[in-house]
Amino acid sequence: MKWIGEWITGKGGTDVDEQLAPHVFQKHILLQKPVAKAEILASALGCYTVRIDGRLISDCYFAPGYTQYNKRILYNRYDVTEFFTCKDSVIQAEVSGGWYAGRLGLTLKGNRYGRKRAFLMELHVTYTDGTETALGTDETWMVTNDGPRRFASFFDGEVYDARMSLDEARWQQASVYDGPLPQSTEEADGVFVMRHEKLNPVRIWKGKDGDTLVDFGRNIAGIVEIGPFHGHSGRRVTIRHGEIVQNERLFTENLRSAKATLSYICKDGIQEYLPRFTYMGFRYISVTGMDVTDENICAWELYSDMQCIGTFECSDENLNQLQRNIMTSLKANFVDIPTDCPQRDERSGWTGDIAVFAPTAAFNMDISRFMKKWLRDLSLCQRKNGAVAMFVPDNGFGWHKGDGLFGLLANSQDALWGDAAILVPWAVYLSYGDRTILESQYESMKKWIAYEEKMASKHSIGLHRYIWTAGFHFGDWLAPGESMLENMKKAKWTSTAYFANSANLMSRIASILGYEEDAQRYRGLYENICRAFQKILVDQNGHIRNGFQSAYVLALQFGLLNSQQEKTALEDLIADIRVKDDHLSTGFVGTDRLLYALSDHGALKTAYDVLLQKTYPSWLYPVLCGATSMWERWDSLKPDGTVNTDGSGEGNMVSFNHYAYGAVGSWLYTRIGGLEMIEPGYRKFRVAPMPGGGLTYAKVSHVSPFGKIGVNWTVENRLFTLDVNVPLGTEAEIIMPDGTFYQYGKGEYHLSCSINQEDLTR
């Protein structure tokens, strides 16, 4: 669209968050006639809010959203008819640095995308007599930095001085912004970040240092609201955020440089405060400067406004808590982009994390629109050679130079991380049946797999050109009990396996889209990688050379082996698990498929033994440590309750809210619950529960594009009973534990069969 408004900004050079309060822009508007409709279109280089006569026009947070800013920026559309009458109105817009000009992760620098914050807006009015008028931002707007919000930063928090008023501010004319702009300004294609669940304190007590500690009961991403309470002018309330408490003190070392602090300076009288331009990852807070009660403090979860569409429940309360932890970390890390963690000075859109977690996320929440936005930016920041950034948006690393190690990371590409270009749109397509996401991402997918081919063949000949060793690799990232260097040395196996998987998926995707020539070529590539894997990475006795759990898992799940080698790999996987006393030893690349590799190859009991393991490393170890969210590392907390900040050389890389290992959720839904799609969007689905582990019931539901699917099974006195709801327009295949097969259309069905009770126990 052609804008009549201009980008406006404040005076001076670079807007540095630490030195400059948010801009507040203002314009008086006089509408002479009754209004039938009024609409605002707004955007910012930074994050913005708009108020009309002091009222926020939207409850959303962090508009216009985070995109690959050198390529595109979004604008938002708001119906503001209710705000205007035939009178003088005041429009005010507050703009912080946000992702655009504020401090960003990894390098901790601000102004990664630009030096100045700026604001763009248009007001379009239709009067009741049918006439129209429009106005936009220009030099007639006024600007000040004298608002009560003195500081705003994602990592560091806010400083709010309630004694200050915009009525007393020093206003000056705004300047037309003349700096660089994104290549395009597009209407928002994602979903707003909103406030959701309200959390009241579950415990309030005095800490060792005399501060007040508050426990909100769950480790979330969000904000704290204070008030109402009575205060005196100049009194400072300080709120620090943390994920855990150690020795009666708030633990903040794992936040690294993030201050995660709110500072509120009181006016005389009643106080109320709710942050607008920051969010934290926390369960606990430390408060000084006010008397905290249940009535004057609460927390709000912030996450993108997605509908919850999936549920899981079973007879094991530990698994139910695991599911709750998965959901909490899903929400906490879906804040406009899929982030890695909400608490420390990072919060970046790491591609490897979402690559493994996307199927679990898509089952639980409708992530279709959320992911389409993010995948568009993945394509936009994809390198010319097809390489995919480690995180999306790329924080400016792709076009800012001289970033040392962090620049190397951002401009290096690895299997799984880069494979997000294929794995994420594929997961969205399967879940919702919308092939347009495959169509829109197809060129990006082709570029990525061409990059994989180039890297695998680098300095190689013969079958070795299908074994990917060149370049930087994370390998079996965060596999327990190993250093990062040891994780990375496993890349030959893990990267080659994911290369094969992407080739296989690309063959299927090309066929779906009607590109048969591409489909055949990618199928041939997949077969060549499999041959190379079998010849080079498997010894003459059928064992994977230097095998480890993730190598066995990926080889089994991606079909890399012949039938005899598969049998040997399964035996080796089970043996490795047994010698480790039924513990897993997989990192990011293998954990999501570990239980599938066991259950789908005839080792269901071993799968349950691993799932229900209660000591480190396992999924239930954090649960029994009291976790309310997923952890980044299997041992983020030691058995003695202290934080594992020494680990295997990882220093303070400890996050208690990281969803990658929550990818196990997919197995809970599809194997315990038994619900799995056969055709995209669940037009045809299978119900084939795999009871075991002593479970006596499980319930799973999912709201598909055709309606709600429900599965509920119980075991009692050797009788297995199953209830299934099949929505209109779908077809269900049902396989009972005794092998009996049924096929049904729309309806509710009740089935039963006898079952060997010994098969259900550990």
In three-state secondary structure terms, 668 is helix
How many angstroms separate the CA atoms of 284 and 193, rounded? 22
Task: Please identify which of the residues 158, 301, 346, 452 carries the catalytic annotation.
Answer: 346
Please choose, from the candidates 428, 437, 432, the residue with its C-alpha nearest in 3D space to the C-alpha of residue 702. Answer: 432
Which letter does DSSP use for residue 80 in this model? -
* 500 in Cβ contact with 463 (< 8 Å): no
Using DSSP bridges, classify how beta strands 684-687 and 731-735 pair: parallel, antiparallel or unpaired: parallel
Strand partners, 176: 8
Helices (H) then strands (E): counts for the chain: 16, 36
How many angstroms separate the CA atoms of 672 and 611, rounded? 11
Sign of CA dihedral 454, 458, 461, 466: negative
Task: Report the 10 Å Cβ neighbour count for 207.
Answer: 18
Task: Please identify which of the residues 301, 453, 482, 632 carries the catalytic annotation.
Answer: 632
Side-chain-side CA neighbours of 233 within 13 Å: the count stands at 3
126-138 burial, b for 16+ CB within 10 Å, e for fewer? bbeeeeeeebbbe
Sign of CA dihedral 510, 515, 516, 521: negative
In order, the DSSP letters of 35-57 are EEEEEEEEEEESEEEEEETTEES
What tokens were used for 737?
Answer: 């534990």
N- to C-terminal Cα separation, the chain: 63
Residues 6+ apart with CB under 8 A from 302: 61, 193, 194, 195, 196, 221, 222, 223, 279, 335
* 510 in Cβ contact with 518 (< 8 Å): yes
Range list of H helices, 233-390: 317-332, 351-364, 368-380
738-750 burial, b for 16+ CB within 10 Å, e for fewer? eeeeeebeeeeee
CA 294 to chain CA centroid, Å, is 31
71 phi and psi, to 5 degrees? -105, -40
Range list of H helices, 648-758: 665-667
Measured CA to CA in angstroms, residue 46 lies from 80, 113, 494 at distances of: 22, 10, 39
616-629 burial, b for 16+ CB within 10 Å, e for fewer? bbbbbbbbebebbb
Q: Is 632 a catalytic residue?
A: yes
How many angstroms separate the CA atoms of 468 and 458, rounded? 8
Which residues have a catalytic role annotated? 346, 632
